[in-house]
Structure 1
Amino acid sequence: MNSKILLLFSVFLFFVNSQFAQDSSKKVALSSLLVDLEKQYNIKFSYSDADVTEVFLEKPNANFSLSEVLQFLNENTFLQFKTLDNRYVTVSFLDKKINICGVILDAKTKTPLSLCSIKIININTGTTTNFNGEFTLNTISLNASLLVSFIGYSSQIIKAKDLYLQPKCKEIFLVESSEQLSEISIAKFLTTGLQKSEDGSTILNTEKFGILPGLIEPDILKTIKILPGIESASESISNINVRGGTNDQNLMLWDGIKMYHTGHFFGLISAYNPYLTNKVTVTKNGTSSLFSDGVSSTINMQTSNRITNKFSGGGGFNLLSTDAFVNIPVSEKLELHISGRRSFTDFLITPTFTNYFNRSFQDNSVSSNTVNDSSTDFYFYDYSFKVLYDINYNHSIRASFIGITNHLNYEEAYTSNNTTIEENSVFKQENLGGIINWNADWNSKFSTNISAFVSDYNIDASDYNKDTDQFQTQFNNVLETEFKVASKYEFSDTFHFLNGLVFNEIGVRNTTTVNAPTFSKTVKNVLLKSALFSEVEYKKNNTYARFGLRVNYFDKFNEFVVEPRINISQKLNNQISLKLEAEFKNQTTTQKVDFQDNFLGIEKRRWILSDNKNIPIVKSKQISLGTTYAANKFYADITGFYKKVDGITAANQGFYNNIQQFNSVGNYEVKGVEFLINKKNKIISTWLSYSYAVNNYTFDIFNPETFPNSLDISHSVSAAFNYSFYDNFKISIGGILRSGNPYTKPVQGNETIQDGNRTIVNYSNPNSERLENFFRIDASASYNFNFTEAVNAILRVGFTNLTDKQNTINSYYIVDENSANNVRRIDNYSLPFTPNLSFRVQF
């Protein structure tokens, strides 16, 4: 029995081998066939090796005459065989019409990419791939070149002849690209998901976020604080200070919508859900002329523009909130992206919430009352959705909407004339925004983008003060609309030209009412502005250069503001690069900081609009020069910068002294150096950064005229160490040590003075004192695991302020007759030791 099986198996192998031999012998290389034909027919072929390379075909019939052989070769190749005489045959490249096909796949996952664009270069025609990633093109030139592109992937140029006469449709693999506008020069920077681009900006890819000290998720604004030159003097992400600027000098864009609200929990948590926001670009200088506002920085958050045609999503929770997101394919050309997040702080108390609550509400009427006569409900939520529609391979529509809300309900109960009276204070802060974009590729070189957005920011608060028996309402509204047209022309792969125009309207309203004494005040301003912008971008070999110009016109003021922008990077060799960045910028919206007219001592900021008199247009000029070194997974960067910002007012600088009462216009000037070194390998990434800056105000009416900026952090050092035990288990520990914030003391021996009927603190020279140095150590760990091949999960734990150091972040004084010298010092402190945990599932 065994011998019969072996015999049958041997016969089967012989049959398979003979069939394979027959199949493999069906086609031969044209270069070898021509040699055989020369011998058989005693002729000589004249051809170029490049024309016949990689051409395979079946052998012609051995009984064919020479003329029949040449006819067979002409019909089965893209070459022309022509007899000169009876002995010589010329072989030339023939421009003929051919039919081709291909399959576009993701290089990493091997999954098909549907609606991928296939364009014939220099001809306004092409096609897109179907659901299986397949495409066909009929009757195109054999000499044609095809541009294969897909959003989020690096494009490829394929020759049509390489797809011709293939036994089956050729597979073409595209590699995912993290940045489309400019080439990534440092792919992994500090941790996975952080990248350094060629134009000097830093990019956070939240989908690939690794791990950072203390963070349990890729919180957008917390993450960027690790970059040199970016601080938060008050520890709040709502108060991010870039190169000594105030938080309102940062342009915040979410999918192209200008946002006026950045933080939940009064600035301790980013208001932008990171799990649908997949890329954040941070630019400190040398900004593209496409953007206006934000005299200190541009923080551009973008959600995915890619139609995946795959149902996917995820969700999770931490000790403050829970969230979920989902991508829903409706058809091959239509997809929805939806996300939502809500805190559970109004019905579940965690240690993290307790610390955040005490940090946010320290030293105000909320924290000063006992639990017996007051209660506080606080919660936040945000949501977003996006519609992605591809009309065809040349035109696409994208529409996005976002909503952010913080809600505080504070109730008091007290007794008056043996009657229990309950009073209620309510605070609601929200930012709604929507945008629609139409992208059009008119040919392989020329494209346009037309967009329109609306952003609506509101603070609506009512506050009852039991001590004064006073009821107050506050309303702050910013409504901005914008229409923008931008065009891009690519003269070549190295030279691009961007042009556009913008029409913008901003309206700001502030209303305050008081019942005792009766008072009502409403201030509303509207400003129309328009702009033309243009820039050229050059990229070739070791040189990157971008030169831009933006011309702004303010209708109300009849004023033009011209803003040149420069961004140059030059590689001297494979390791060393030089960079030069410079810009002029302006902004017309700022925040007024009022420590007297606030909500429960918590929310002190109100947006106001420039009137070009008492509140001028804020204008900045900045230049920076630096060098980088990158080799053997070692990166070093040193940059010196100078920035001057004119048109600031005392009211928007957050002074904890008498200066805040004056309506004065001045400027600040900051000079500094930023230094960073980063060493990494497959399992370790460690870095050290240092910033030095001198930041001074100048206000002509004050004495002295020049004094330290409230955000003058002279020295700041941070260091961190990341270690990957395995591919799925990582830890991170790091710390920051920086100079204490400036503050103002009262005049010693004469701490108070009379101001009419009031006694006020008699402050000394502004910002002449400094708080103790700020020091904090954070740590975090993450563990990834898979439930199935399609469902994975990640568990993260984080610890803020491991040493539980009590850091003072600001100090001021109040009149207190029961204290020595009639004044009492008020200190506000940073977060104590705070644990947090998150768990996420993604499919």
Structure 2
Amino acid sequence: MHGSKFYFFLSLFFLYFLHPVAGQHFTISGYIRDAKTGEDIIGANVTIKELPGNGSSTNTYGYYSITLPAGRYQISTQYVGYTPQNKDINLDKSQKVDFQLTEQINELSEVVVSSQRKNENVTRLEMGTQKLDTKDLKTIPVLFGEKDVLKTIQLLPGIKSAGEGSSGFNVRGGSSDQNLILLDEATVYNASHLMGFFSVFNSDAIKDIAVYKGNEPAQYGGRLSSVLDIKMNDGNDKKFGVSGGIGLISSRLTVEGPIVKDKGSFIISARRTYADLFLALSKDTTINNSSLYFYDFNAKANYRIDDKNRIFLSGYFGKDVLGLNNRYGLNWGNSTGTFRLNHLFSDRLFSNTSLIFSNYNFKININRGVQMHIISRIQDYSLKQDFQLFSGTNSTIKFGLNSIIHNIIPGIITASSSVNMKSLTNKHAWENALYFTHQYKFSDNFSVEYGSRLSSFSLLGPGTFYTYDKDGIATDTATYKKGQYISSYVYIEPRVMLNYVINPQSSIKASYARNVQNLHLLSNSTAGDPTDLWMPSTNNVKPEIADQFSIGYYRNFNDNQYEFFSEIYFKSLKNQIDYKNGAELNFNENAESQLLYGIGRAYGWECFLKKKYGRFNGWISYTLSRTERKFDQINNGQYYPARQDRTHDVSIVGIYELNKHWTFSATWVYNTGNAVTFPTGKYQIDGKTMFYYSNRNANRMPAYHRLDLGATWVVKKTKNFESSWTFSVYNAYSRDNAYMITFRDNEVDPSKTEAVQTTLFKIIPSFSYNFKF
């Protein structure tokens, strides 16, 4: 360990000082913000007119830094959708230069649905990364007209819906639990409302959305397939404002304003459904005493103490309540809290310290003479320390650490007749990581980002733990005291990314990344249920490992009006988890005995074409892929399709601005059905039909396709007030898509078997009224 630390700091030392030092160099640094709201602008570009190819971009907090030789320069900053700004600088000493950008009032011919500079997709290092503009959320039609982050990212290549109406998603062959979902750095363990039909993210409170498809920078870790990094708005530090909307099934309200003008701000955003109000109107007592609703509450505040220090405090609280006539209830919800301190050690060294809390819990209430409660919970307490060193004109270093305490309560049953009827052994774990990343631009054509993550994971006592053989039979038992180490794992996770710019319109990129996952979701469903249980790596359950290789070609056309990329990837998976036939996972102290362990692979081709400017814009996304698993105990040890395997996945999105009042949109999706296991025979036991199943996932659900239509009518838009109506039609041609297929004996001829298809949604129109003042 001491050797690793020495190597880490030695590398940092050389990387910092091995840059040209001839002549005097000074640093220009500062923040780039929205002139109207004071919001930090993430990813704004800063360029030097006299030194083409040199420049910087703002980080998550809107900060940039450039070190240049002494001299006179014209600095330009730009961000799509904002008017560029230029400033003339006499660089004879290091100095702070802030920018406040004004949003452009675009003519119809200049409508923009991108948040990147014109050819940044070609020149930037990132690959396997998708940025989503929050403006797109306002126009793309979705289920019940609810603007939804998770539904919208499913229209991007390599990201597939976990099922009809579900907010769960699969990325490059990974399962739903292999996605790390972050809200202001806090982990969200269940991102769905109402059994997956809505996500927990209120789009009115969101500023930035980024998806990393397994190629994430080293500061991220803990999941195999992807990172969805969502950042909340900071609030308007110029003036107070109110916005919201009233829809068919929910309403939302956002209030924001300055704490101290130009120094601090707050934002509070809330959303609630009111289906339960309609249930109360029913004459059926079983229905009118039932509950069916969810709510979200987002809050954030920030304050600039001085030029070097700024603090942030943000939180999210959400809950679902489902109940049937006070006899049965299922409640689940997330709570997160993040405290952050930004500090400038110098104009070249930026620091962010975060204290993070995350909690997910569900509770089942049963009232049948005796009141019974079933509770499960996972809680995280985290410390993150991140540094960003702008070590040279073409060099940026990021390094830091992350430490998380996991507390998992898999299940407690209590009843009115006893204090504690039954409980499963609680799990406690300590997860740590050190990371280092260096991004360096060798020339205008070639740049590289390389780094590594050193991760460790330890399962801690107290508790009694079993050791199982490959057949699930307990071979050993050991009891541990509080704080004792039960099992520990340490891994090095290297990452590298290369970008060769052929010309300003095209480039070739390649990457490799290793990811390790130590938290595993025990679930027999593809989309995930609120009652699914999280399990840490133990003496039986080893960490999951993924090695991903990818290469891509990026090209822009027609003066950067069209953006195109094509990527192929291959991912090798180790220590994958599946379940024995008939496995009992819920409330089972010996759930580990029901698990099987094997390997997997996923590979595919992603293609994406986007039109970014003009009255008509949108994109086409296509994924051709294969996802397979291999377990000794399944299908005679041969590779077989994973549940989330789909051969083809197509999304087409179109947005057309007719005039300043009307905008129309449409999306069409098509995908091959998921792999499933259908019965191949049947037999009778005591007059009851039992089905016989052969190879795992040897069948397919029917292909899925759907057309959604939307329209936005801006009724009034002035400097101080804006109002609009949003209309949408989900599944416009009323396709009977299969949500589930079951089998039963034919009523006329029991010797025959018939398949019964369940369809969730036919055509669904919806509308909502939106306002802002």
TM-score range, shorter chain: 0.7 to 0.9
Which residue does 1:687 correspond to in 2? 619
Letter in 2 for 1:386: K
Quote the offset at 1:590 in angstroms.
2.1
- Measure the CA separation in 2 of the matches of 1:221 and 1:113: 24
Quote the offset at 1:240 in angstroms.
0.6
- Measure the CA separation in 2 of the matches of 1:106 and 1:663: 51
Letter in 1 for 2:265: E
How large is the Cα RMSD of the aligned pairs? 4.3
Q: Which structure has the bigger radius of gyration? A: 1
Q: How does 1:155-554 map to 2 (within 5 A)?
A: 158-160=88-90, 174-175=100-101, 188-189=113-114, 198-200=125-127, 201-206=129-134, 209=137, 211-214=139-142, 216=145, 218-305=147-234, 308-332=237-261, 333-348=263-278, 373-374=286-287, 376-411=290-325, 424-463=327-366, 473-511=373-411, 513=413, 520-539=422-441, 541-554=444-457
Q: How does 1:619-768 map to 2 (within 5 A)?
A: 619-632=545-558, 633-651=561-579, 662-679=594-611, 681-705=613-637, 706-748=639-681, 750-751=682-683, 761-768=691-698
Moved more, 604-613 or 787-796: 604-613
Structure 1 residues 653 and 387, CA, compared in 2 at 3 Å: closer, same or farther? Answer: farther
Name the SS of the counterpart of 1:295 in structure 2: coil
Letter in 2 for 1:249: Q
- Measure the CA separation in 1 of the matches of 2:688 and 2:406: 39
Asked if structure 1 preserves the Cα contact closer than 8 Å seen for 2:683 and 2:689, the reply is no
Name the SS of the counterpart of 1:391 in structure 2: strand
**Cα distance per residue 1:778-802 (max 9 Å; x no partner):** 1111122435321112221111101
- Measure the CA separation in 1 of the matches of 2:240 and 2:357: 30
**Cα distance per residue 1:599-619 (max 9 Å; x no partner):** xx9946423222434332222
- Measure the CA separation in 1 of the matches of 2:365 and 2:752: 32
Structure 1 residues 443 and 150, CA, compared in 2 at 3 Å: closer, same or farther? Answer: farther
Quote the offset at 1:328 in angstroms.
2.1
Letter in 2 for 1:395: N
**Cα distance per residue 1:247-271 (max 9 Å; x no partner):** 1111000001111121111111111
Structure 1 residues 157 and 842, CA, compared in 2 at 3 Å: closer, same or farther? Answer: same
Name the SS of the counterpart of 1:704 in structure 2: helix
- Measure the CA separation in 2 of the matches of 1:653 and 1:233: 22
Unaligned regions of 5+ residues in structure 1, if any? 1-94, 96-103, 116-141, 164-170, 179-185, 355-369, 412-422
- Measure the CA separation in 2 of the matches of 1:220 and 1:112: 24
TM-score where L is the length of structure 2: 0.76
Structure 1 residues 347 and 808, CA, compared in 2 at 3 Å: closer, same or farther? Answer: same
- Measure the CA separation in 1 of the matches of 2:592 and 2:646: 21
**Cα distance per residue 1:397-426 (max 9 Å; x no partner):** 011111010011212xxxxxxxxxxx6111
Asked if structure 2 preserves the Cα contact closer than 8 Å seen for 1:428 and 1:461, the reply is yes
Asked if structure 2 preserves the Cα contact closer than 8 Å seen for 1:252 and 1:258, the reply is yes
Quote the offset at 1:836 in angstroms.
1.6
Structure 1 residues 488 and 373, CA, compared in 2 at 3 Å: closer, same or farther? Answer: closer
Structure 1 residues 814 and 391, CA, compared in 2 at 3 Å: closer, same or farther? Answer: farther
TM-score where L is the length of structure 1: 0.70
Quote the offset at 1:214 in angstroms.
3.9
Name the SS of the counterpart of 1:616 in structure 2: coil
Equivalent in 533, 538, 543 of residue 612 of structure 1: 538
Structure 1 residues 741 and 715, CA, compared in 2 at 3 Å: closer, same or farther? Answer: same
Asked if structure 1 preserves the Cα contact closer than 8 Å seen for 2:235 and 2:265, the reply is no
Name the SS of the counterpart of 1:775 in structure 2: strand
Moved more, 213-222 or 634-643: 213-222
Structure 1 residues 380 and 665, CA, compared in 2 at 3 Å: closer, same or farther? Answer: same
Q: How does 1:98-117 map to 2 (within 5 A)?
A: none
- Measure the CA separation in 2 of the matches of 1:114 and 1:687: 28
Which residue does 2:510 correspond to in 1? 580
Q: How does 1:555-570 map to 2 (within 5 A)?
A: 555-556=458-459, 557-570=487-500
- Measure the CA separation in 2 of the matches of 1:114 and 1:244: 35
Quote the offset at 1:442 in angstroms.
1.8
Letter in 1 for 2:189: Y
Which one has more relative contact order, counting CA pairs under 8 Å at least 6 apart? 2
Which residue does 2:475 correspond to in 1? none
User: Is 1:841 equivalent to 2:768 in the alignment?
Assistant: no
Name the SS of the counterpart of 2:694 in structure 1: coil
Which residue does 1:14 correspond to in 2? none
What percentage of aligned pairs have identical amino acids?
Answer: 21
Letter in 2 for 1:527: A
Asked if structure 2 preserves the Cα contact closer than 8 Å seen for 1:190 and 1:678, the reply is no
- Measure the CA separation in 1 of the matches of 2:40 and 2:548: 45
Asked if structure 1 preserves the Cα contact closer than 8 Å seen for 2:615 and 2:657, the reply is yes
Structure 1 residues 703 and 660, CA, compared in 2 at 3 Å: closer, same or farther? Answer: farther
Asked if structure 2 preserves the Cα contact closer than 8 Å seen for 1:454 and 1:479, the reply is yes
Quote the offset at 1:821 in angstroms.
5.3
Count of aligned positions: 662
- Measure the CA separation in 2 of the matches of 1:105 and 1:621: 37
Unaligned regions of 5+ residues in structure 2, if any? 1-23, 25-30, 42-69, 105-110, 460-486, 586-590
- Measure the CA separation in 2 of the matches of 1:620 and 1:255: 26
- Measure the CA separation in 2 of the matches of 1:512 and 1:752: 38
- Measure the CA separation in 2 of the matches of 1:520 and 1:441: 52
Moved more, 311-320 or 773-782: 311-320
